[in-house]
Amino acid sequence: MRLKDGPPLLSLQEPFRPVLIDTTQLALERSISGATQRQEALAANIANASTPGYRRVDVDFHGALAAALGSSDARNAVRSTSFMTQADASVGSTQADGNSIDVENESAKMAGNALEQQAAVSVAKTRNAILRSAMGVG
């Protein structure tokens, strides 16, 4: 179908790409998911602060998302990005029993992560409100 003397409205040669859920929205969703997983890891660290030999764990969702967004097919890379909770080898024992947890440091990381997660949720809500407004609902 064509508008009068214009380009086709829908090209059947190109794959259909939904416009409402773009790469930014996918990245926001994955960021919220990664921050949630990191919050759980940080909470586990604090819960195990007095467990002998416990090693600190963390989730590097920033690095995984940055790599996905930098790829040639960012949309699909972001969509398939997953995050892993891993032992943090950069921190040595902070206690005599081999435990590597500093509760104050973990608490600060938890607070920073919570703020970051809250910001991503706020941006996602705002984007959704703009879409709803553009569609004439809500």
pLDDT in tens, 49-75: 999 999 999 999 999 999 999 999 999
| pLDDT of 92 over the 80 cut | no
Per residue in 101-116, pLDDT tens?
999 999 999 999 999 9
Burial of 44 (0-12, 13-18, 19+ CB in 10 A): middle
pLDDT at 52: 95
The helix (H) or strand (E) run that includes residue 124 is helix 103-135
